[in-house]
Amino acid sequence: MAYYYSEPSRTFSEYLLVPNLTTKDCTPDKVDLTTPIAKFKRGEKSSLEIKIPFSSAVMQAVSDDRLAVALAQNGGISFLFGSQSISSQAEMVRKVKAFKAGFVISRSNLKPQDTLKDVLELKEQHGHSTIAITEDGTATGKLLGIVTGRDYRISRDPLDKPVSEFMTPFETLICGKVGMTLKEANDLIWEHKLNSLPLIDDKQNLVYLVFRKDYDRNKEFPNELLDSEKSYIVGAGINSRDYKERVPALVEAGVDALVIDSSDGYTEWQAETVQYVKENFDVVIGAGNVVDREGFRYLVGAGADFIKVGIGGGSICITREQKGIGRGQASAVQEVAQARDEYYAETGIYVPICSDGGIVHDYHITLALAMGADFVMLGRYFARFDESPTKKVKIGGNFVKEYWGEGSNRARNWERYDTGGKTTLLFEEGVDSYVPYAGTLRENLDKSLGIIKSTFCNCGSLSIHDLQERARITLVSATSLVEGGAHDVILKENTSTFHVD
DSSP string, 47-62: S-EESSSEEE-S-TTT
Q: Which long-range contacts (CB under 8 A, 24 or more apart) does 474-482 make?
A: 474/15, 474/16, 474/17, 474/18, 475/10, 475/14, 475/15, 476/14, 476/15, 476/16, 481/13
**Cβ neighbours of residue 500 under 8 Å, at least 6 residues apart?**
359, 360, 361, 362, 380, 381, 444, 448
CA pair distance 80, 54, nearest whole angstrom: 14
Contact by Cβ (8 Å): 254, 231: yes
Q: How many helices (H) and strands (E) does the chain have?
A: 15, 24
Torsion of CA 349, 355, 356, 359, to 10 degrees: -170
CA pair distance 279, 358, nearest whole angstrom: 34
What is the total residue count of the chain? 501
Contact by Cβ (8 Å): 374, 59: no
**Which residues lie across from 355 on neighbouring strands?**
309, 376
| Coil/strand/helix, residue 485 | coil
Per-residue DSSP letter, 417: G
Q: Per DSSP, which regions of 1-137 are E strands?
A: 15-18, 35-36, 40-41, 49-50, 54-56, 77-80, 109-110, 131-134
Indicate the residue type of 165: E
DSSP string, 333-366: HHHHHHHHHHHHHHHSEE--EEEES---SHHHHH
Q: Which residue out of 217, 246, 317, 459 is catalytically annotated?
A: 317
Torsion of CA 326, 331, 337, 338, to 10 degrees: -120
293-302 and 329-347 helices cross at what angle (nearest 10)?
Answer: 50
The HSE-up count of residue 310 (CA atoms within 13 Å, CB side) is 26
- Three-state SS letters, 127-187: CCCCEEEECCCCCCCEEEEEECHHHCCCCCCCCCCEHHHCCEEHHHCCCEECCCCHHHHHH
Q: Which residue out of 327, 380, 416, 459 is catalytically annotated?
A: 416
Asked about 459 being catalytic, the answer comes back as no
Asked about 317 being catalytic, the answer comes back as yes
The catalytic site residues sit at 317, 416
